[in-house]
Amino acid sequence: MSASAALTSAPSTTASEAPSFEALAETHRHSLFKYAYRLSGNKEIAEDLVQDSLLRAWRSFARLQNPAAALGWMKTIVRRENARRFERIQPRESAMPTEELPTQPAQDYDTSTDAFVLRRALRALPEEYREPLILQVLHGYSQQEIAARLGLSGAGAGTRLFRARQKLRAALGERS
């Protein structure tokens, strides 16, 4: 149920029947915290989200007509507060001119035994299997991009990638 539906969907209850905001907040605080933690992945941020959300809920509590929908309404507020958190982030530009940044050193050629064995096993693969595997692993192409580049169907590229991995595992002495 949306937050606006919680505010307007049910007939209003009398003041004596309606729970106080404090009672609703205490009842649902733990559920709201768990939800906020799931959204943010951080305990402190989750606590802040719950606090900010409860403040927003308190401000509009008088319009809540269906107390049974309070948890869904409050979770919607938590979700929106979490989204607002990202709206506030404004990346700052650095005053450092980019021309003065050091260039990244070229990656050193890996001379380890494992790298040597892997390069040798890759070179030993038939070209029809080696090429799609290198396009995917080293160049980051998707299966569909590899298929288009090599003039294969998507399934054909997938088959070649699968077989290339099998042959490479066998060449390296690993079990499939």
Ordered by where they begin, the domains of the chain are 3-87 (1.10.1740), 113-171 (1.10.10.10)
Q: Are 7 and 57 in contact (CB under 8 A)?
A: no
Q: Give the whole-angstrom CA distance, residue 41 versus residue 37.
A: 5
Q: Give the whole-angstrom CA distance, residue 39 versus residue 49.
A: 10
Work out the number of other CB atoms within 10 angstroms of the CB of residue 141. 18
pLDDT tens column, 39-62: 888 999 999 999 999 999 899 888
pLDDT tier, 8 (very low <50, low <70, confident <90, very high otherwise): very low
User: pTM of the full predicted structure?
Assistant: 0.43
Whole-number pLDDT of residue 24 = 86
Average pLDDT, the chain: 82
